[in-house]
Structure 1
Amino acid sequence: MQAPDFWHRDGLLARLLNPLGGIYHLAGVARRAAARPWQAAVPVICVGNLVAGGAGKTPVALSLLEILKDRGLRPAALTRGYGGAAAGPLRVVPGEHDAADVGDEALLLAAAAPTWVSRDRVAGARAAAEAGADIIVMDDGFQNPSLKKDLSLLVVDAGYGLGNGRVMPAGPLRETAASGLARADALVIVGEGYIGETEKNLAKDLAVLRARLQPKDDALRGQRVFAFAGIGRPEKFFETLRGQGAELAGTESFPDHQPYTAATLARLRSAARAAGAQLVTTAKDAARMGAARPGAGAPDIAVLDVDLAWDDKEALLRLLERLPELRARTSPP
């Protein structure tokens, strides 16, 4: 889905829907109160968010996996596999599974570390630990109470913040900001900007980490491109291209996780040719095009790969040291 425009501002429709948002929030509160979270045999780091849609969770999870590997650990990723048919627990095998099986995010995570898709997070965590993981990075699942989190990071897209601050369907929040921030250990703010002053006050006791998405290279600088994306906030991708110095001849947005058909890609190719531009998309979108486009890495569709750059990586390492099992390995030499 794509977030409706009124989720970003507080208007009449949002206020009319607010009672339904209260019911949604209370249902989540009741679910968490009734749950008895299962403690995994290894630490679980949850990378979650408060809003529906993209906030940058997967890039944060990918960065954590690399940092943990650099420290000599054997991390595994755990994800629900949104958009895929597999219920799991299933270990993702790149080249054998595709986005229709396990979802696009799982394919990105599996390129970095052993990755398990499981709608039952407890079963997935158990399978990952039994397969040899000594720490689990869970992409999403902050609102899922079945698995105990040893460290919870809430990711916020600085460009979108918390929208109008209301709970679905009145706004983009999965629960109230006060409720979510009370259970988190840290905020990870991706991009330039900050959340609203009210939320800032609620988060005053949390560690606040800042990070930025940056292209891995400048291959598209100065190029005329036609950009398309089916992610939580396609405009964020378009802004990244502009910031890199690409000339946007056209853009098209799709719902998050939407599969690409051959017909859709043919239409996009035609639009790019008419504009005299290079087609470009995100790595997450490219993961969903394996069966739809001829040949892996088709040369007519460029992929913008990005890395997450931490403003203060040492602050992140100090946060990881809250886990006794990691203290010796995450402490700087």
Structure 2
Amino acid sequence: MALDRDLELLTSVAFFEGISAEALKLIAFSADPREFADKDRVFSAGDVAEGGLMVIEGRIDLVDERVTPPKVVERLGPGSLIGEIALIVETRRPRSAIAVGRAKVLSIRRALFRRMLEGYPDIAALLEARIAERLRRPVLRARLAPAPQAVAALRGRPLHAFAGIGRPEKFFETLTAQGLDLRRRTAFADHHPYDRREIEMLLGEARAANATLVTTAKDMARLGTAPLKDLAAHIAVLPVTLVPEAPSTLDALLRLAEERARTRLGAARA
């Protein structure tokens, strides 16, 4: 059933981790499915976000249209949540979103989500703590350092990167920070269970662009076993380690953002 599939995907979203099955069922039942044909516009940069969108089928490209030609900055697959903060407060879309092939999303309206928070104050407290913890997370004062040999092997080659980790954008930023030629990015939900069709599609897209497909060591560990082991042999990997840095001047801004998050979630619970 579609409802069971939507519930399974909601459960895989890191932002919803720890939320009760009852509350997730309420979200899945009340959210609105929306379908898009290839190259349909899901939303435009600057649009007011009415809530979050979870990809349930196909792919959605986030596109920077401020440049010519427009640049795909991230490709999102099933289980990816677009605009988690928009579930709590009104925001504007920072980038445009375009469907790649036939795509389907689950639209979770902010009004629905906030009503759910009113009925489940424990969940509001959980999300409050999660957002505050993210703002305090040491990774904000650290950098990802890739293995020099791996960087050297990728230098001079067009790259198509994909990742199914907690923050895929950190992996993509690491590649560009090394001066590597990153042409396309595809993000999946954390712990995404890859299937053969997805990997074959990624490899095909990379070949068509004369690019090398590259991923994280964590993702490669999931790909390196049967039945995907033969496909994994055609994918490059970039191992990274986290290198702490001295506290930055961002600390004051992070504290301010934390207080705002607490105030907004407190209002949602009221």
Q: TM-score range by the shorter chain?
A: 0.3 to 0.5
- TM-score norm. by structure 2 comes to 0.46
TM-score, structure 1 normalization? 0.38
